[in-house]
Structure 1
Amino acid sequence: MEILLDNKNGRVWDVSQIVSDATWTTKRIGAASSFEFTMIKGGIYQDPSFVINNGDVIRVRDGDWNIFYGYVFEINESRDESVKVKCYDQIRYLMSNDTYVFKGIKASDVVRRIADDFGLKTGTLQDTGYVIPVMIEDNKKLLDTIWKALDLTLIHSGQNFIFFDDFGKLMVRRLSELKVNIGIGDESLMTDFEYTRSIDTDTYTKIKIVQNNKKTGKRDVYIAQDSANSARWGQLQLYQVADEKQNAAQINQLLSQLAQLKNRETRSLSLTAIGVPGIRAGSFIPVVIEELGLSQYFCVDECSHSFEGAVHTMKLKLVVV
């Protein structure tokens, strides 16, 4: 693995040989990816011109794979011979709060506008299709604003998009296009697993949407309910208030989409495996575990790669989407 440090002063240092261990962590929603590593004082550390500061650029490659491009945010030194460094990608700069008012805009354009406003680099921003009528985010975290736009797109159109930083460029890609052809499971990379099926967090057997009707002075009620699952799991209700500008057809479409997304068990699978550089949060990977009767694609929700010497392992938290 190659780890380069750019001091932004015209000098680039190859610190690969003095890094004793490193961890690369990605999460699909709500966080920047991080790269944390430990350097041993010595070698180039003895060069009086070598320095590492917050804001320096870190570039990490593994063979032909681009792993991480980000910035130093924390340096921890002590009396021993080690220096611990924590870095984040561009998404870290989206943890700031701001106010935005959007009208008639797509989620992909939300990303483009925020990136432009904050001087962030973008790569492929695929057209997300669904036009959000109105979205007002007052003093909200920028990353939350982006994910709200993507969630609205999923709910109203059924299209699932992933937002991430790909080696220094912000991307919006369809989940279906992020398939990895490397299978994990029985006799393939996996060393252990933990499988959970739940109706505790995001499962609803009844969807209820109400809308204020100014003409009648009452609320119109729209309901979708699965009687079979209600009998099995009990009545788990999701309640929402529709925008007054939505018509009945739009509300019924939303009702149908929510019923399709929410009326099911949530399933999560955690794996430990031999590391594969191309797998990160947002990847769509095939998993085969005969003991669980599983042979299907899962989405990587969280991924942590650990590098120590020549040993590369990874921990994956997977979800069904």
Structure 2
Amino acid sequence: MNMEFAVETDGKIYEISELVTSVSYTDKLNDGCSKLEFSYIDDDLKIHNGSVVRFRYDNENVFYGYVFKHGQNKAKEISVTAYDQLRYCKAKDTIVVKNDTVDSLVKKMCNYFNLKAGILTNTGYKLPVSVQDDKTWLDIIYTAISDTLMNTGRWYCLRDEFGNIAVRDLQELQLDLILGDESLAYDYEYEKSIDDEFYNQIKIVSDNEKTGKRDVYITKDSSSIQKYGLLQYFEVLDKNYNPSQAKAKADALLRLYNREVETLELECLGDVRVRAGSSFYGRIEDIQLNKRLIVKSVAHEFIPVHTMKLEVMI
């Protein structure tokens, strides 16, 4: 095990890998900041909120972030929770989206919070003009990522890469890695559902300023309705959508949601390259699985051995 664990506090840097008794790292796809939780035993080193934490494992960068919580027990074991830079972007604000793409919004966010930006992939898609009021910066950007996916078919993620905020195309994050039968995985849980995020009829309404009435757009899959019953998605669009855009959105939503939701959780030996948004090849014969899978969330545990729990999208 090759672990490097540095903490910067009171202007000094301490290497504490010999003192650390537990380390876990959690990362979720477009769902807030990544989190590092660790504990160590030491009488002298006092960590403060705001201290910088750097963690590397097997010569790979894993986490760079800031302490937000710390405490200790009677045995003088100090427990610490640190988050990456995206934690600061949970702040609410009023933001005008105009001539913006996902990457230009992220650039504005980094400038506003004085955060370090890294690879900001040009997403190309101009977002609809809107005033986002009383929403967090993260939620606004996640909505922009979702809009971009709906309109271009390209999927992006926002993440902190060892102290650099990045926008990455998920296509760029494909790993040369196989997990499953006889390949690192030692347990799994699989489920197929129409309970959440499944719709076979899409109903979209839009205010028509010319007529003063509401235009209604419905698209559906009759065979799916016959098979599963009617499960409807409903949304009211803002005034910036024209009829062709509204119809296109309804069609895109039906393609996205009119399928059974499959979830798979894997328990595996660890690989530090696996983050939310990265993908690998999954092979499990019992559920006829043999395809590339995107990581929705991952939790790495590093002590005593490196293991990880993954939730993936099928």
Q: Taking structure 1 as the reference length, what is the TM-score of the superposition?
A: 0.93
Counterpart for residue 182 of structure 2? 187
Letter aligned with residue 154 of structure 2: Q
Letter aligned with residue 27 of structure 1: K
Q: Distance in 2 between matches of 1:5 and 1:204?
A: 48
Letter aligned with residue 65 of structure 1: E
Task: For residue 187 of structure 1, report the CA deviation from its aligned partner.
Answer: 0.2
Deviations 1:59-84 (A, max 9, x none): 11112210000011111112213111
Deviations 1:167-210 (A, max 9, x none): 01111111121111111000000010001111111111011222
> Which of 83, 103, 113 is matched with 1:108 structurally?
103
State the SS of the aligned residue for 2:186: strand
For the structure 1 residues 117 and 187, does the alpha-carbon distance in structure 2 shift closer, same or farther, using more than 3 Å as the test?
Answer: same
Q: Distance in 1 between matches of 2:49 and 2:241?
A: 49
Letter aligned with residue 18 of structure 1: L
Moved more, 12-21 or 234-243: 234-243
Give the alignment of 1:12-23 within 5 angstroms. 12-23=13-24
State the SS of the aligned residue for 2:104: helix
Letter aligned with residue 185 of structure 1: G
Counterpart for residue 221 of structure 2? 226
Counterpart for residue 120 of structure 1? 115
Q: Distance in 1 between matches of 2:63 and 2:209?
A: 53
Letter aligned with residue 271 of structure 2: V
Task: For residue 247 of structure 1, report the CA deviation from its aligned partner.
Answer: 2.4
Aligned residues of 2:128 and 2:240 also touching (Cα < 8 A): no
Q: Distance in 2 between matches of 1:308 and 1:21?
A: 6
> Which of 250, 260, 284 is matched with 2:245 structurally?
250
Give the alignment of 1:129-144 within 5 angstroms. 129-144=124-139
Q: How many residues align?
A: 312
Give the alignment of 1:272-283 within 5 angstroms. 272-283=267-278
Counterpart for residue 208 of structure 2? 213
Letter aligned with residue 41 of structure 2: I
For the structure 1 residues 260 and 7, does the alpha-carbon distance in structure 2 shift closer, same or farther, using more than 3 Å as the test?
Answer: same
Letter aligned with residue 5 of structure 1: V
Deviations 1:112-146 (A, max 9, x none): 10111110111111111211122322121221111
Aligned residues of 1:58 and 1:72 also touching (Cα < 8 A): yes
Q: Distance in 2 between matches of 1:184 and 1:18?
A: 32
Counterpart for residue 88 of structure 1? 83
Give the alignment of 1:291-306 within 5 angstroms. 291-306=286-301
Q: Distance in 2 between matches of 1:170 and 1:119?
A: 11
Q: Distance in 2 between matches of 1:81 and 1:210?
A: 60
Counterpart for residue 201 of structure 1? 196
Moved more, 19-28 or 205-214: 205-214
Counterpart for residue 3 of structure 1? 5
Aligned residues of 2:129 and 2:240 also touching (Cα < 8 A): no
Task: For residue 30 of structure 1, report the CA deviation from its aligned partner.
Answer: 2.2
Counterpart for residue 37 of structure 1? 38
Deviations 1:240-299 (A, max 9, x none): 223333222222221221111111111110011101111011111211000000011111
**Unaligned segments of structure 1, at least 5 residues:** none
Q: Taking structure 2 as the reference length, what is the TM-score of the superposition?
A: 0.95
Q: Distance in 1 between matches of 2:48 and 2:104?
A: 34
Task: For residue 8 of structure 1, report the CA deviation from its aligned partner.
Answer: 5.5
Moved over 6 A (4+): none
For the structure 1 residues 8 and 123, does the alpha-carbon distance in structure 2 shift closer, same or farther, using more than 3 Å as the test?
Answer: farther
Counterpart for residue 56 of structure 2? 61
Q: Distance in 2 between matches of 1:143 and 1:247?
A: 27
Deviations 1:200-255 (A, max 9, x none): 11111011222233443433222211111111111111122233332222222212
Aligned residues of 1:132 and 1:149 also touching (Cα < 8 A): yes
State the SS of the aligned residue for 2:227: helix
Letter aligned with residue 316 of structure 1: L
Q: Distance in 2 between matches of 1:135 and 1:202?
A: 26
Aligned residues of 1:281 and 1:302 also touching (Cα < 8 A): yes
Letter aligned with residue 308 of structure 2: M
What do you get for the CA RMSD once the two structures are aligned? 1.5
Q: Distance in 2 between matches of 1:221 and 1:300?
A: 36
